Amino acid sequence: MALTGCCPRCGKGKAFGGMIAFAAQCRVCGLDLAAFNVGDGAATFLILIVGAIVTVGAVSLELSRQPPWYVHVLLWVPLTLVLTLVLMRFAKGLLLALEFRNSAREGRL
């Protein structure tokens, strides 16, 4: 569910309206996706995870091969962008699924 970006209630409709933005509601079952607010939770995870991957990768490459500086730029800048965008969708889908399972909502009972 988190991987495919589907609605946490019916599993058929799409939870995402765009690349990393949620839709207002599920088109299939009408679940109000706007009631869930994952906020910056996904971004926080990604800063830690992507930051660790890229930092460890860059340091070990430098220590083992000592490539010219532009190799690092060409390698790590695109990798960081791609990893962040791909994992952002996954992380937001995961947080949405967790909030749905645990009935965590904002401003409504």
- Applying the rule CB under 5 A, the residues between 4 and 33 that interact with Zn ion are 7, 9-10, 13, 26, 28-29, 31
Using the rule CB under 5 A, is 98 a contact of Zn ion? Answer: no
Contact 29, 21 (CB under 8 A): no
What residues from 23 to 82 belong to the interface with Zn ion (CB under 5 A)? 26, 28-29, 31
The alpha carbon of 93 is separated from its chain's Cα centroid by a whole number of angstroms, namely 7
How many beta carbons lie within 10 A of that of residue 93, not counting itself?
A: 23
Assess contact for 29 and 7: CB atoms under 8 A.
Answer: yes
Q: How many positions of this chain bind Zn ion (CB under 5 A)?
A: 8
- Residues lying near Zn ion in the complex (CB under 5 A) are found at 7, 9-10, 13, 26, 28-29, 31
